[in-house]
Structure 1
Amino acid sequence: MSWDPVWEEVFRQQAWGKYPGEDLIRFIARNFYNAKSRLEVKILEVGCGPGANLWYVAREGFTIYGVDGSKTAIEQAKTRLDSECPGWTGELVVGDINRLPFPDETFDAVIDSEALSCNTFENAALIYSEMARVTKRSGKFFSRTFAKGSWGDETGEKVGYDTYLVGEGPLLGKGFARFTNYNDIPELIKHFTIQEIQLLSREYLQENKIVKEWVITGEK
């Protein structure tokens, strides 16, 4: 199972971000804004949560698919899409992203926005492989994932390779948190051709802490 039930309570009790990050917007714009028919472009997000990214993608006229282990998150995403993106096309599914319920080579792009950082190294490698399986040839890939040295790394209880039940920081109380070493990226994402890796950092001055994230894009 690639989803921790703690997220069901997180989504029930905590307000979540409503809008996508600039890096995700740039990825979609760069690759798909010039599509002849946006409706024919199918985009999947694994671990979609309440759907901030899919809300944006649907508003831009693309066909969207999302999978998340949390029934609450999927319900929240559907409610928002129905209210703010009437006529949206696609499907949202409660399921395990370790075994994506779609045929091979279905999607023009697959997206991960910190979902895989909530999985062990071994699970994450399997999920990246599943993402590649359902991506069309020459389809696009996007992953945003926490980097080594980010706030919370090497704190709390170690439960796997670079994976912790952290003792501090924004991931406290949210189950597994995995922090990716740059040198491990080619092994994790070996089923895609990596085109670009960026390091994002956000400093919390009062705590003297930094949140670091990789933004990785590629192609099958």
Structure 2
Amino acid sequence: MGFSKEWDELYRNNRHMSIWPWSQLVSLCLRHTPLASCDREFRVLEVGCGAGANLPFFQTYTDKVSALDGSEHIVSLLKNRFSEFADNIKVADFTKLLPFESKFNLIVDRGASVHNDTASIEAYLDLAYKQLEEGGHLIITDWFSTEHGYFELGIPQEKDSYTRSGYDSGPFSGVGNVHFFDRELIVKLTQKFGLVHLEHSITHVDGIEQQGAAWSLVLQK
């Protein structure tokens, strides 16, 4: 399915415009990768970077920051905001292409690939594996769990029950596809990587219908 056009519309309407680095992602990067101890040639790519919340965090440690998103609108804003590496901020569907010649020491995916169907996520993981240096890491957060309160509320795809859509209210309203994972599917999709870290978290807010549940993982080539 690839990039959902809904996200370009959301950005144009000034929604999902987070600007602060996500603490869980920061923690996983510093705990499981040599980002903080390497020289400033450490190469980082964020896929589905959105409004660029995490990019200043990476700039703290390296001059080799790259990013991509499927939204032309958000990329144009980022190129102006991060003019010092504007050439490394690109528009692309990361389930089909990672348009960079160099390989990366770290690829980061914070709640990006989760808005694709299973086949597209599998294609993306293959591309990420090829684009990583030997020993490099792929960090993924916010892969929604099948224990999430909204899993049963979405309309499943005919041949892919893990991918849901049709939400007219709540956190997934207007975002297109939402993918949910169980442990078995994660192990299957990531089998060519080494699984360094796998974490499942559940958050309860005002009843089961609002229960949040998601996976975070650190993979290594």
Scaled by the length of structure 2, the TM-score of the pair is 0.88
RMSD across aligned C-alpha pairs, in angstroms? 2.0
| Residue equivalent to 2:37 | 34
Matched, 1:21 2:22: yes
Aligned counterpart, 1:149: 147
1:89 Cα deviation after fit: 7.8
Aligned equivalents of 1:56 and 1:132: distance in 2?
23
Match of residue 59 from structure 1 = 60
Could you tell me which amino acid in structure 1 is paired with residue 45 of structure 2? Answer: L
Other structure's SS at 2:81 match: helix
1:123 aligns to what SS in structure 2? helix
8 Å contact kept, 2:149–2:208: no
Instruction: After TM superposition, give the deviation of residue 133 of structure 1 in Å.
Output: 0.6
Cα distance in 1, alignment partners of residues 135 and 87 from structure 2: 21
Tell me which residue corresponds to 1:175.
176
Match of 1:100 among 98, 101, 104: 98
User: How far apart are the structure 1 equivalents of 2:48 and 2:126?
Assistant: 15
State the identity %.
Answer: 22
Pairs within 5 Å for 1:1-220: 1-13=1-13, 14-30=15-31, 31=33, 32-35=35-38, 37=39, 39-82=40-83, 87-88=84-85, 91-98=88-95, 99-103=97-101, 106-144=103-141, 145-159=143-157, 160-167=160-167, 168-205=169-206, 209-220=210-221
SS of equivalent to 2:171: coil
1:67/1:15 Cα in 2 relative to 1: closer, same or farther (>3 Å)? closer
Instruction: Report if the CA contact (8 A) 2:149-2:209 is conserved.
Output: no
Q: State the one-letter code of the partner of 2:62.
A: G
Report SS of the residue matched to 1:55: helix
Offset at residue 92 of structure 1 (A)? 0.5
Change in 2 beyond 3 A, CA 1:75/1:186 = same
* Aligned residue type for 1:161: S
> Would you say the 8 A contact 1:129–1:189 is kept in 2?
no
Partners in 1 of 2:82 and 2:116 — Cα distance? 27
1:92/1:214 CA distance change after superposition, 3 Å: same
Alpha carbons of structure 1 residues 137 and 152: separation in structure 2 relative to 1, 3 Å: same
| Paired residue total | 213
Structure 1, unpaired ranges of 5+: none
Is the contact between residue 118 and residue 176 of structure 1 (CA under 8 Å) also seen in structure 2? Answer: yes
AA partner of residue 203 (structure 2): R
The residue identity in structure 2 corresponding to 1:80 is R
Alpha-carbon distance in 2 for matches of 1:137, 1:76: 33
- Would the aligned equivalents of 1:151 and 1:169 in 2 still touch at CA under 8 Å? no
Q: Quick one: distance in 2 between partners of 1:24 and 1:215?
A: 9
